[in-house]
Structure 1
């Protein structure tokens, strides 16, 4: 497996990472591997459109929820608020 060396890491960041590792019951190395794994998956989902698919699903749920309902126009309320 490959190794990574990070130079000039802020001691405060290292302290926070060590705290996270303790909270999750991991070694610092295992915590960093986990963080990198999560970051790489988020990047892959972003580039493959997975996040867009989730957004489309959320929009579809909202459309179903409000289908056939009449919603008020907030323009008048905004005008009233601005006149205060």
Structure 2
């Protein structure tokens, strides 16, 4: 398995990571592995489009919810807000 060396890590960050590890009942190395795994999965999920079926279902629900509704033109409100 690969090893990673992180140099010049801010001592405050290290302290926060150690605190997180203690809170989760893990060693610092286990905590870092978990953080890296979650970040990699989240990035992969984001860049691959995520769960398209769930996205399609959410869009369909929104379309049903807002079908036939009339919304006011917010242009004037936005202009007023910008002028503040």
TM-score norm. by structure 1 comes to: 0.73
- How far off is 1:3 after superposition? 1.5
Distance 1:34 1:19 in 2: 14
Distance 1:14 1:77 in 2: 46
Say if 2:66 is the partner of 1:74: no
Segments of 5+ residues of structure 1 without an aligned counterpart are none
3-state DSSP of counterpart to 1:6: coil
The count of aligned residue pairs is 82
Aligned to 1:64: 64
Aligned to 2:8: 8
Segments of 5+ residues of structure 2 without an aligned counterpart are none
3-state DSSP of counterpart to 1:50: coil
Aligned to 2:27: 27
- How far off is 1:31 after superposition? 0.6
Distance 1:56 1:11 in 2: 45
RMSD: 2.6
- How far off is 1:44 after superposition? 1.5
